[in-house]
Every structure is written in C-alpha cells, then in structure tokens.
Structure 1
Amino acid sequence: MIQLTKTFLVFLILMMVASCGDSTKSKSAETSIHLKFIDEYVLPDATDFDNTRVGGLSGIDYADGAWYAISDDPDQPRFYKMDISYNHQGFNSIDINKVVKFKDRNGIEVSSGTVDPESIRYDNGNFVWTSEGNIKKGVKPFVRIADSSGRLVKDIPLASRFLPSNQAGYGPYHNGVFEGVSLSLDKKGYWVAMELPLKEDGTEPTVIENNSPVRIAYINKATGHFEKEIVYALDKVERPAINGNTFEVNGIVELVEYDTHKFLVLERSYAMGYEDGGNTVKIYLVDATNATDVRDIKSLKGSNYTGVTKTLLFNFETIRDQLTNAVVDNIEGITFGPDFKNGNRSLVVVADNNFSLYGPQLNQFILFEIEQDVVD
C-alpha cells in the first residue's frame, strides 16, 4: 500500500461577517477544505464471490457500519455488501460478504440486458439506484427504489425528456443519462445527475469546446416526483484520443451532498489510446445555492439561467505516480466513510474496471482524509 503526506488545498467558502454598528468594520473568515491522499487498494481482477465475478463497481456507499458497491454487469444486475477496514496508515482489508441481485416486484431477477446499473445509495433499509438504460436500443433509463433483498419497491416517474426519443435533437445521448445519485442532506429526497447534456440542452464535450450543460435533478422522496433541476457546466475533454482511436468523453460520474445545496462532484474525462488508461478525474466543490430551477425550461440553448458554481478540489493527476502502474482508472463512485480517530471525515472512491473487457483495468479503491481550517 502507498501513503502520501502532501495535502491539497482549495478555498471552499468566503464568508463576510458584518457588524450591527456603524463604527465596527466588517471582517472576513476563510474556511478551507483539504483532501489528503492516504492509500490505494486494488481488489484482484479475478475475485469471485457467490458465483459472480467482482467488477464493474460503478457506485459505492457507506451507511450504518456497512459498505455497498453496485456492479454495472447488465447480465446480472447486482450490488455487494462489503467490509472495508482502514485507518490513518491506510487500508487494512476489503472483504465481500454478500451479493444481492436486483429483482422486479414479483421477486424475479431482472432480465439480462434490460438495465445498466450506475449508482446506489442506502436509504433507511432500502436502496435508491440508477440505470442509464440503452438509448440506442430504446431501453429506458430509470431511478428505482429496492428493498434489502433487491426487490423493486418503486419506480420514480420520469419526464419524457429523459427517455429515448426518435425526435431529432431531443432526448438523452447514449451512455449519458443517470450516472450519479445522492441522498439529500435532510434525507427527504434524492439528487440525480445526468452524465451528459440532453440533446436539446447542448452538445457532448470535446477537446475543442464544452457547450455542455448537465441537469442535476432533485426528487422528493415522499411524492416520488422530480421537483427541481439545476445546471452544471462540464469541462472540455482533457486530451484527444490517439493511436487511431476516436472515442473521447467527459461527464459527471457521481455526486454526494455534503451540506445544503453543496456537493462533491466527480467529473471524469476519458480518451482512448493511452497506456495510462486515458482517464483524467477531478473532484469539484459545487455550490447550487443560487442556481436557477430550470425544470420548466425545455431547452437550455439560448436560455437565461444561473448555473451552479464549481471549484476544483482535487485532480487525480497529482497522485498518478503513487498509484498502481501509474493508472488513474475509471473512477465512478464516491462516498464518505467513517470518521478517523482525530474526528476528520474519510472519503473513498472506487473505479469501474469494466471487467477488463477493453484491456487490463483495476478494481481500484482510493482513500482520502478530509481536513478543514477556519482562518479569521
């Protein structure tokens, strides 16, 4: 295992504290958040559990002392219950102790090829999870609630704009739908993030341009309805595909709300042809406090609205040489873990190894410590 002591700093909030009297000048306080890289753990590619191959880990969550990771295997949609042990020195172990297959309302396992699992969050004994579907084949994406056995409890109704469409310039891009989900801080709802813009909102980002506003939507848990949509602007693709390849993409892969209307957002750029995996992954601090609700705006092109603000917190390029084979793999999951003994929060990310279908990849877990300072 690898350890690095260097901290990475970004200013999170600048708060002006004003006095009530005319004679007292206002003063400012700065709160900063640091991510300190602690360790990496790679679960062997050949790991099997209960007649399943462990891989495609596209989302991760921690709750009530247990860890959960969703696998994006379309043939056997499932999630794993895990034990992950670590401290300030790094990971101790990662053990899988249960696999749960997703099922329909009748308890029958979900059919092969009908879902593309991407994200999962534990919610008071149930699980909210997402699927991108298959836009090219007309397979609908969804946001669902399942019980602890994986059985369907509820399907969240979706607006038509999130569904496959034959109308030119309308609907989601393939592999660009519900990639991330987070419980709201008050646990009264869920935030779901598109990976890419809707066609009527913008274009897929390239290395040249990024006219790519992505919708992040709030779902009221009590009603099961979408109640708000805000806009996150994607970066350009970080580097071009090479060596005869043409595929490149950048999008949101996960989010987690850490304060009211404030999120950590994982943004991942990928380009084919690179020996280091071709991934450039960043964590942004995102503030949606003043973001416009665009739910009633049919097309963001030419529309007036205020998007979220984003501030770079961490670029995984800064630790690439500390990781296995200098690979920043296909990181897609992020969650807060248990606090360290000093009271600081822990943060864990996980990579989807695509079951190494496109060449060797890693079931890569990376551990951080979150440090905060307040300076008057």
Structure 2
Amino acid sequence: MSSSLTRRTCALTLLLTAVLSPAVSAAQPGDPGEGSGRAVQARLLGERTVPHKLAFQNTTVGGLSGIDRNPCTGEYVFISDDRSYLQPARFYTARLDVDADGVHAVDFTGTHPFFQPDGSVYPAPTAGDGKAVDPEEIRVDPRSCDYWWGQEGDRPKTAGPPVIQPSIQYASPAGDHLGQLKLPANYEITTEERGPRRNQAIEALTFGSKGKVVTSAVEGPLLQDGPEPDTKNGALVRVTQQNRAGKVLGQFAYPLEKIFAENDPDSPWGPDTGVPSLLAFPDQPHRYLVLERTWVAGAGYKIRLFDATTRGATDVQAMESLAEQSVTPMRKRLVADFDTLGLSAVDNTEGMTWGPGLPSGERLLILVSDDNFAQEAITQIVALGIR
C-alpha cells in the first residue's frame, strides 16, 4: 500500500551506494514446498540506493512499488505509484548490473505513461471524474513481453467522490492500452460492508505455469472477511488464480501475520500491514514467494519473505465471508526477516522479481522499496540469492 506518510527519519546518502553482506536467513521447519522437503534460503548479495527524486526524461523517479524482469530485453521494468500528481501515471525501464557480488549499477533507460483506451493519460484524482488509477504492480507477459499492471482503485473516505474500481490491465511496452482482465466479483468495491478496504486492494500480481496462470492477491482482508491484523491476531487475505481469459481457477486464504509491535499511542496514524507482492516459483504452479510489509508508528518497518503453497488449502472462491466459515489457509514458512539480513536500512519494500540464475546454483531475487516521494525514505534496490 502506498502512502504519502513520512514514516522514518534517518540520515541517508542521496548518492548511489553499494553494501555487501554475507548474512543468511534460513527458513523455519514446516516446508510448504511441493514435496521437495528442502528449505528455501535467502542470502544478501548487496543493495543500492537511487538518488531521491531523481530527474529522468522530464519525470520524477520515485514511488517504485513494483518490478519485473523482461526476458525479451534483459532489462527491468518498474512501476511508479504516482497517481498522476507529479507526472502522469507511468513506468520505467532500467538496466541493473547485479551479480553474486552485489548491485553495481542502476541505469534508467526509458519511461512511458500508461494510456487509457482513448489514448489519453490518466488524470490525477483531483479531476473527480472517476478515471484516476493507483498503480502498484507490474509484470512482463512471458509470452508477448507486453506489460500487465495492477492498480487498486479507490474507496472514498466520504460520500461524494466516485468509487474507482481496482483493475489488472495490459499495455504495450510503449504504454498503449491493450485490454483488461476480468476480476473475481469479490474484488469489487461495493458497499461499506463488502469488498476491499481503502488502499488494500490489488497490489500483488504474478504469472505462473509459463504464463498460463495469473495469480493476484488483495493486500488486506476484505471487509466481509474480518478485521485487520492487530498485535494478537493475524488475518486472512484472498489469493486468486485465473487463466488469461479471467476464469477463476481457484481462490485461497493466505494467513497474514499479526502486527509485530504496539503502535505509538501519540501517533495519528495506525499500523499498516499487508501483502504488496507475490511471485510464482517457475516450475511449481502452486508455490509462491510472498512479501509481507508492515509499518508501526514508533517501531518502523518489518519486512518478511515467506514460502507459501496453495496445495491442500481450501478453495474459498464461493465463500461470501472467511470470518463465518472454517477454512484451511495456505501453508507458509519464513524465508527471510529483513532485520536479519544486514541491510543498511529496512524500508518500505513493495516489489520483487526473479533475476537470472547464479553460478552458485542460486537464483537472483531483486526487490525494490517505495519511497512515497518522501525525503526521509529511500528507493532501495536489494539483491538476494535464493537457494
């Protein structure tokens, strides 16, 4: 979830700096893997920080909440969650020089706005016409190398402003609108009692089964599925598998962790937690890396990476409310707690993608943090080795 909130104060360089660490975070017992019996391990290879509000091709680089690798070009694509306040809603392409020795360079190569079906760019929400978008996730279609991108719409705080529905759209590499995926009915913002909460709709999107399956997740529990997590209880969020035509193949309940610390009682802001990204394992269609991101006033960020599976989980697509029925959720195990990796800072990490394989037999995992365009936050590119 994106926010204009300034959430952490620290002195950070605005120049690109690399940090290397041998720290390892191993998974815990209870592997949900596809019968492999092997724990997934994560090792920090390095990190690099992009200068704050970097000017590039008449745009402001920031708010990078999603990343994917383009197999057709070898470049990476980032989505900005700028809702057209600074410049039109857009994405960036970049070359990353990253290997087992760290992240050596981040070089932006291009940027394009996302275009509406009529060829116009998306307006800022202040236009009040209901056409604004809140971009959060981007994936490269493994078949065509077009871009699929998710945006979580808007549930207004008060009556008057129009509801903006979440969506998953397809665009050309130049940003031209190509189509839209039909979403499950329970992803729709409807009444005050049903659908996604405000700023807790679609943030996570991934391709699996060689592009045949599109999996998405809402960031937090639907209104009808129960309360948000607190320090005593977690919550269930819905993960949906669809084919490329939009048919729901299955929907499952992912168990979101409880809040890790008490919120500062003097803060006007409550805790903020959810699933901002998930990533299918290349050869295991029921298995995912799931990113959980939590912010607590007075305690900062907690970023955790889990290995999760839908195998054995209840299909909940026909269930009106997860709070009223007993379900078997997805199984998961901890892969990495970012507090243990040796990073220079743990910030608002929201996007991740697989990179190439490494000579060690590990697979690169690249993650990016969303700085919300705030001076005290950072755009941090992190490289992990995943075994």
| TM-score, normalisation: structure 1 | 0.88
Shift of 1:309: 0.1
Partner residue, 2:168 = 143
Distance 1:230 1:30, change over 3 A: closer
Partner residue, 1:38 = 45
Amino acid in the other structure paired with 1:290? G
Bigger proportion of residues as strand: 1
Partner residue, 2:327 = 305
Partner residue, 1:26 = none
Partner residue, 1:365 = 381
Partner residue, 1:133 = 153
CA RMSD across the alignment:
1.8
Task: State which of 158, 161, 165 in structure 1 corresponds to 2:190.
Answer: 165
Consecutive unaligned residues in structure 2, runs of 5 or more? 1-17, 126-131
Distance 1:347 1:14, change over 3 A: closer
The answer to whether residue 290 in structure 2 is matched with residue 265 in structure 1 is yes
Shift of 1:172: 1.2
Partner residue, 1:87 = 99
Amino acid in the other structure paired with 2:347? D
Amino acid in the other structure paired with 2:357? D
Shift of 1:91: 1.2
Partner residue, 2:54 = 47
| In 1, Cα distance between equivalents of 2:41 and 2:285 | 19
Amino acid in the other structure paired with 2:118? N
Task: State which of 188, 200, 206 in structure 1 corresponds to 2:224.
Answer: 200
Distance 1:15 1:105, change over 3 A: closer
| In 1, Cα distance between equivalents of 2:199 and 2:186 | 15
Partner residue, 1:184 = 208
Shift of 1:243: 6.1
Amino acid in the other structure paired with 1:106? D
| In 2, Cα distance between equivalents of 1:367 and 1:272 | 27
Distance 1:119 1:15, change over 3 A: closer
Distance 1:15 1:108, change over 3 A: closer
Secondary structure of the equivalent of 1:37? strand
Number of residue pairs aligned between Structure 1 and Structure 2: 347
Shift of 1:15: 8.4
Distance 1:15 1:370, change over 3 A: closer
CA displacement, residues 147-198 of structure 1 (integer Å, 9 cap, x when unaligned): 22212111222344322223x4222111110010000133102100110011
Amino acid in the other structure paired with 2:70? A
The equivalences for 1:1-376 within 5 A come to 1-10=18-27, 12=31, 30-64=37-71, 65-75=74-84, 76-113=88-125, 114-123=132-141, 124-136=144-156, 137=161, 138-166=163-191, 168-210=192-234, 212-221=235-244, 223-242=245-264, 244-245=266-267, 246-258=269-281, 259-274=284-299, 278-319=300-341, 322-324=342-344, 327-356=345-374, 359-371=375-387
| In 2, Cα distance between equivalents of 1:337 and 1:345 | 7
| In 2, Cα distance between equivalents of 1:99 and 1:329 | 24
Secondary structure of the equivalent of 2:42? strand
Decide whether the 8 Å contact of 1:216 with 1:232 is kept in 2. yes
Distance 1:290 1:344, change over 3 A: same
| In 2, Cα distance between equivalents of 1:232 and 1:60 | 22
Partner residue, 2:5 = none
Partner residue, 2:129 = none
Consecutive unaligned residues in structure 1, runs of 5 or more? 17-28, 372-376
Pick the structure with greater CA Rg.
1
Shift of 1:92: 1.3
Shift of 1:57: 0.4
State the 4+ residue runs in structure 1 displaced beyond 3 angstroms.
11-16
Decide whether the 8 Å contact of 2:63 with 2:81 is kept in 1. yes
Distance 1:15 1:328, change over 3 A: closer
| In 2, Cα distance between equivalents of 1:4 and 1:149 | 37
Shift of 1:341: 3.0
Decide whether the 8 Å contact of 2:276 with 2:351 is kept in 1. yes
Decide whether the 8 Å contact of 1:238 with 1:270 is kept in 2. no
Secondary structure of the equivalent of 1:161? helix
